[in-house]
Amino acid sequence: MQQLTDQINPAQRILLAAYDCLSTRGYANVTMRNIADEAGVALSQLTYYYKSKEKLFTEVISKMANQYIHEIETRMSATADLNEKIVSLTQYFTEMLRDKPKLLKLFIDFAAQALWTPSFREQVDSLFDSLTELIEKFILNDSEAHQSVQNHSSKAIAKLILGALFGTSVQTLLSADKDNSFESFDLAECLMST
């Protein structure tokens, strides 16, 4: 692993280390020194490549957002059937909870930080907009899916769906009874399919 790490340029190593530190410990518990140590670089290299803690974390948000958008778009474009698209979206969130909880925690952490940091707010809002657009494109553009709530825009419905899945994810992460928490995703899938 060290040999592979040595082959990555310092800026990329710092970004990967920041991503790992933040997803493991959370924004409030990570210092630039932690990231430098994890990346195996001098603290001065962090400021050389990223200028400030905020700029580095902004890059981490960008990396995270691109991963989310790519993974969800790939999954939903892989099927033509509306119900299968709905299933793939809800399964994405359940798989994130089971297989990549660090990535989901990072998303939640940055969403919370976005309330107080304008540059984070811009990026997280853009991520939410992109995910909303994917839901509109792949699920709500189907007239059958939008039929039952005709008095509302597809964007409003997409935001509600994303909010429900995101909120349920937060509740599941916090729940002591995780197995029963996943039942909520089944219910969301059922409600969207009707």
169-194 tens-digit pLDDT:
999 888 877 667 788 888 888 887 75
Query: Using an 8 Å Cβ cutoff, are 40 and 13 in contact?
Result: yes
Give the pLDDT mean for 66-87. 90
Q: What pTM value is reported for the model?
A: 0.84
pLDDT at 104: 87
Q: Does residue 189 come out as left (phi exceeding 0), alpha (psi in the -120 to 50 range) or beta?
A: alpha
Mean pLDDT for the chain overall: 86
Model confidence over 36-74: pLDDT tens digits?
999 999 999 998 999 888 899 999 999 889 998 999 999
Q: Are 69 and 130 in contact (CB under 8 A)?
A: yes
Residue 76 contacts residue 186 (beta carbons within 8 Å): no
The predicted structure's pLDDT at residue 36: 94
pLDDT band for 81, please (50, 70, 90 cuts).
confident
SS3 assignment, position 100: coil
All domains of the chain in start order, with CATH: 1-51 (1.10.10.60), 58-193 (1.10.357.10)
Per-residue model confidence as pLDDT tens digits over 127-170: 999 999 999 998 887 655 555 566 788 889 899 999 999 999 99
Distances, alpha carbon 192 to alpha carbons 98, 122, 123, 130, 145, in Å: 22, 29, 28, 20, 8
DSSP code for 140? I
- Which pLDDT score is estimated for 6? 58
